[in-house]
Amino acid sequence: MTATLRPARPRAEHVAGFARLVHAEWTKFRSVPGWVAGMVAAVAVTVLVSLLAASGSGSDANEASELVTGPDGDLVSDAFHFVHGPMTGDGSVTVQVTDQDASHDGAMAGLMIKDGTTPGSAYAAVMVTPAHGVRLRADYDTDIAGGDGGAPRWLRLDRSGAEVTAYESADGAEWTEIGTVRVRGLLETAEVGAFVASPPEMRVERQAGSTSVGETATIGHATFEELAVDAGDAADPERWTGDDIGQAMEGGVTRAGGTLTVTGSGDIGPDPPDDDPVQIGLFGAVVGLMVVVAVAVLCATSEYRRSLIRTTFAVTPRRGQVLAAKAVVIGSVTFVAGLVAAVAAFLLTRPLLRDAGFAPPAFPEPSLLDGPVLRAVVGTAAMLAIIAVFALAAGIVTRHSAGAITGVVMLVVLPILVASALPPGTAEWIMRLTPAGALAIQRTKEPTAGLVEPWAMVGPWAGFGVLCLYATVAVVLAARSLRGRDA
């Protein structure tokens, strides 16, 4: 026996070889009319079903009796008890929060400077919370973390023009700056004072097989001492009055010496509806993916049925590369088709959804260039592409069209139907463990348990990651089975 050494091929030749392989697989794909027709059908089905879903959807969020909109025009929640007085021009206000009830993890007690007392007006506030530390918040969208821990604590707000700087202190002597925010359009004379809020507790309830989310109001209490204003033109804190802002439950204030006890309820922050019109407009992908699966599985299995695979392997003995080339072709073709479908579905469903109530202020007009919208649209195409690669690998492992198609479709689609009939805890786990969670990439909003769609409970990348994991395992198994078995 003589050992023979194969000369190592130069890298450039490797690359050229793989490019030829991809080209060969592309030729195979485009020369089968059924597959090309299948991809066109997947695009058509995705767009049509999206249009159908959009026509059958509606929202009455804009018809609520009292809509509160923030400085940007977005829906916000703005409810609390405010012990306040006017302050003109620059100045600062200081207080010691001596005690706060843990009525809610995110309950708030602190100082606020606000553009009048109309709900939804601009503001900056520094506060202690029972579980989220000290926070500086402004205009419903800015949230800066201060130190950990809650009451007792000294707080200070310092206004200079449109800029407000917040400080905190443990003893009232040594102060730490938390940050500076710019409050949009703050008038020369603004309301300053102490406030207490306590957000409602979310409650998931299940009855007769359907899940609903309700809210229970919570009531917060806090005590303040040493309330002081340092400004050229401001009312004396002794004469400040307490007002319920927004739709909060009845709060109040009692004075005993220099101590203020304030009771308040409500939340201050963004309050968009859970429904996501962008996701509704991409719903057709759930059906389109079934066609994609069929085409991708056929790409793998029909070569076995027609024994073309023997020729393929005779030409390219490196079977791993053949698999890679196939995956590149089916993945890219599906990605392009999916992108066309997703962009078309997004644009075509816009007018329908707007007429159905998905309009500002509850639903700001989405733009394809917004980060989350772009993620949803491109993510839909990427999800379809990964599902195609998953199906291709499943086809190679099973070599059985019917089994592979059914298996992949069941893994992606069935969990949705099963999860939506089960309690939320179970449904969330199903979404975390099966590729069905990948549909979360189509959502542009925060995860929530308040919707029928079970994938709304997981974050976009968590769900997409699970699908990628499944696809990777399938591709590894396919590579092993290609090497280990006869064609």
Partner 1 sequence: MSRILRAEWTKLRTVPSTAWLVAAVVALTVALGTAAVASLDTEYCPTPTTCAEDTARISLTGVWLGQAAVAVLAVLAVTNEYASALIRSTLAATPSRLLVLTGKVAVVTATVLAAAVPGVAGSVLAARVILPSNGFTAADGYAPLSLADGPTLRAAAGTVLYLGLVAVIGVGIATIVRGTAAALTAALTVLYAVPLLVRFVSDPAWQEQLQRWSPSSAGLAIQATTGLDRLPIQPWAGLGVLAGYAAVTLVCAAALFRARDAG
Token output for 348:
């075509």
Alpha helices (H) along 356-459? 371-398, 401-419, 424-433
**Per CB under 8 A, which of residues 299..338 are in contact with partner 1?**
305
Question: Taking the complex as a whole, how short is the minimal distance between the CB of residue 379 and partner 1, in angstroms?
Answer: 18
Among residues 467, 470, 458, which one has the least CA distance to residue 425? 458
CB neighbour list of residue 318: distance below 8 Å, 6 or more residues apart: none
Q: Does 53 bind partner 1 (CB under 8 A)?
A: yes
**Binding residue for partner 1, selected from 43, 388, 405, 479, defined by CB under 8 A:** 405
Asked if 267 and 197 touch (Cβ cutoff 8 Å), the reply is yes
Asked if 250 and 121 touch (Cβ cutoff 8 Å), the reply is no
Answer positive or negative: Cα dihedral of 308, 312, 315, 319: negative
Q: Does 450 bind partner 1 (CB under 8 A)?
A: no
**Per CB under 8 A, which of residues 101..160 are in contact with partner 1?**
none
Question: Taking the complex as a whole, how short is the minimal distance between the CB of residue 181 and partner 1, in angstroms?
Answer: 38
Token output for 108:
């708030």
DSSP one-letter string for 85-98: EEEEEEEEEEEEEE
**Binding residue for partner 1, selected from 189, 247, 316, 406, defined by CB under 8 A:** 406
Rounded to 10 deg, the angle between the 33-55 and 11-30 helix axes is 70
Query: CB under 8 A: which stretch of 233-241, 294-302, 344-352, 359-367 binds partner 1?
Result: 294-302
Q: Does 414 bind partner 1 (CB under 8 A)?
A: yes
Q: Does 456 bind partner 1 (CB under 8 A)?
A: no
The Cα–Cα gap between 423 and 431 comes to 12
Token output for 131:
């579980």
Cα separations in angstroms, 33 against 21, 38, 97, 111: 20, 8, 74, 69
Burial class (CB in 10 A: 0-12, 13-18, 19+), 31: exposed
Among residues 218, 267, 244, 264, which one has the least CA distance to residue 97? 264
**Binding residue for partner 1, selected from 4, 207, 216, 367, defined by CB under 8 A:** 207
Question: Taking the complex as a whole, how short is the minimal distance between the CB of residue 75 and partner 1, in angstroms?
Answer: 18
The Cα–Cα gap between 67 and 58 comes to 18
237 vs 288, which CB is nearer to partner 1? 288
199 vs 395, which CB is nearer to partner 1? 395
Query: CB under 8 A: which stretch of 61-69, 118-126, 230-238, 291-299 binds partner 1?
Result: 291-299
**Binding residue for partner 1, selected from 126, 293, 330, 392, defined by CB under 8 A:** 293
Question: Taking the complex as a whole, how short is the minimal distance between the CB of residue 422 and partner 1, in angstroms?
Answer: 6
**Per CB under 8 A, which of residues 416..435 are in contact with partner 1?**
416-418, 420-426
Residues 363-402, mask of contacts with partner 1 (x by CB under 8 A)? --------------------------------------xx
383 vs 479, which CB is nearer to partner 1? 383
Q: Does 286 bind partner 1 (CB under 8 A)?
A: yes
Among residues 226, 329, 219, 310, which one has the least CA distance to residue 263? 219
Residues 56-75, mask of contacts with partner 1 (x by CB under 8 A)? xxxx----------------
Q: Does 351 bind partner 1 (CB under 8 A)?
A: no
Asked if 437 and 467 touch (Cβ cutoff 8 Å), the reply is yes
Place of tokens 């940050």: 179
Q: Does 204 bind partner 1 (CB under 8 A)?
A: yes
Binding site for partner 1 (CB under 8 A): 34, 49, 52-53, 55-59, 204-209, 211, 275, 280, 283, 286-287, 290-291, 293-294, 297-298, 305, 356, 401-403, 405-406, 409-410, 413-414, 416-418, 420-426, 452-453
